[in-house]
Amino acid sequence: MDVVLGFLEEPINKDELTSNYFPNKIGGKPAWLDLGNIPKREELLCEKCSKQMSFLLQIYAPWDEKKECHHRSVFIFCCQNGGCNYYKAIRSQLEQVNEYYPEDAEERKYEEGYSISEEKYLVNRQTTCEFCGLHSKSKCAGCQKVNYCCKEHQQADWDLGHREQCKILKEKPDTPSDKLPSKKQVDFLFKEFELINETMELLDFPMYHNYGSSSGASGADQDDEDDEEEHEDDDADDVEIDEHGNVVKMSQCKDLMITKEITTNDPDTIKDFEDYVGETGKSGGFNDETFLNIKDKQLLYFRRILAKDQDQVLRYCRDPNYPIVWVSETDKQNPQEVPCCENCGGNRKFEFQILPPLLYFLGMDQQLMSTIDIDFGVLSIYTCENSCKKNSTYKNSLINEFIFKQDFKK
């Protein structure tokens, strides 16, 4: 089973994080895929506080097996008010032949000097707000060069530095952006990074560990549970997690077998072990039995998964047997309770998850962005298993998907 890990890098060329390059990115303004159907501000308001949500990240994830998914992106937005705990996922997709990109755009984007300048691909593209990147309604009355979705964002951008830029653009309209005075950083936008993908091989994970996997809570039909209970117990005694976060059978890898006595310096693991001893009254070393009975094996697995690649911020895998990484045994998403697709009524399946190291890169742990208060253990995103498209009578092609937020247990 292959899993794609996402890591952040400072962008070398920010042009490559724009729509023409079909980017994977964090922060900044969204690089919309369907440039003729860009959301309006009122479509991305928090349902709890009614404030506009900020763009968090986007992934480019085409499905080769479906013609209508030749281009496919998923966008994640969040409310910066941590008390709201409100996140939103939006799926967008296009066929290879479309109004906004040449058929060979994916190949051409690697060429030096690549750009899309043909009028037929530009004429139907909507303009976006200079401040937030959503659909714009009006232009700056002074320079006529930048667009805004509302007066609030026009005033905010003016105060951030457009006041100085506007004077120059009125006199010299063709001044390139890199020759204009820089603007102040805005807290509404997260710091922009490129999201780099790396594929790794992951061994299959025992189903009893993964109540939240897309294959179901038990991995077997109800009628088979009694027959397989003894077999599952045997499997439970024969597994371990290696240094890469992979799960292996101990009988197949003697070097990774839990020995009679285990030494560990991880304070959280020791605390779990001490809690286990306190609850059961058992004593002794940290051996195979106590490992398998630690009360929150999911949290232990989560820590081991991140131990090898501590900077990973995203894990992507559509394999139905992918072991979803949870931060707690409790409050996991039951796959049977994931809401059906609001467009076609089909089932939603797990596609990717966002991990808490992302918060570090955004500055949450460093208090660099004091007005922002988001937090999570893990965000798991479930999308339509058909990756359906809207009926042709709908102009807007964007489809909402489902996000499950799990927090660390306190």
Clarify whether residues 345 and 380 are in a common domain: yes
pLDDT band (50, 70, 90) for residue 387: very high
Confidence tier at 156 by pLDDT (50, 70, 90): very high
pLDDT digits (tens, 9 = 90+) for 119-154: 999 999 999 999 999 999 999 999 999 999 999 999
pLDDT band with cut points at 50, 70 and 90 for residue 236: very low
**Residues 26, 140 share a domain:** no
* Residue-wise pLDDT tens digits, 240-285: 555 444 544 444 433 333 333 334 445 555 555 555 445 445 455 5
> CB pairs under 8 A, 24+ apart, for 113-122?
114/20, 115/20, 116/20
Helix (H, G, I), strand (E, B) or coil at 368: coil
Please give the tally of structural domains in the chain.
3
In-domain check, residue 113: yes
pTM: 0.80
- Is 193 found in the same domain as 328? yes
| DSSP 8-class letter at 125 | P
Q: Say whether both 149 and 255 belong to one domain.
A: no
Chain centre distance of CA 292: 31
Q: 53 lies in a domain?
A: yes
- Residue 54 has φ and ψ, to the nearest 5°, of -95, 150
Please spell the DSSP secondary structure of 75-92, one letter per residue. EEEE-S-TTT--EEEEEE
Owning domain of residue 92: 2-125+189-197+310-406
Query: What is the model's pLDDT at position 262?
Result: 37
Which whole number is the average pLDDT over 100-111? Answer: 94
